[in-house]
Amino acid sequence: GHGDVEHAIAVTGAAEDVRTHVVVPGDTWWSLAGELDRPGDIRDAVDSIIELNGSEDLRAGQRVVLPLG
């Protein structure tokens, strides 16, 4: 399915350079996307981060990957 492709990309990191972020209380996908300082619509950044991680779950202590580009 579609999710398998996203998962493979997230695991290999081949699609783009990423960094790991450990979630702290108060972090949201929107706050993380805002820190990326990417051009364009923040909703696109949010979508790309969620897609990169393969899940919309966000919990304190969780490791998520964020694109560097």
Q: State how beta strands 63-67 and 18-22 pair.
A: antiparallel
The rounded distance, in Å, linking the Cα atoms of 30 and 41 is 11
pLDDT classification of 68: cutoffs 50, 70, 90: confident
- At residue 1, the pLDDT reads 47
pLDDT digits (tens, 9 = 90+) for 3-50: 555 555 555 555 568 889 999 999 999 999 998 877 889 999 999 999
Alpha-carbon separation of residue 32 from 56, 60, 66 (angstroms): 13, 13, 8
The rounded distance, in Å, linking the Cα atoms of 44 and 64 is 17
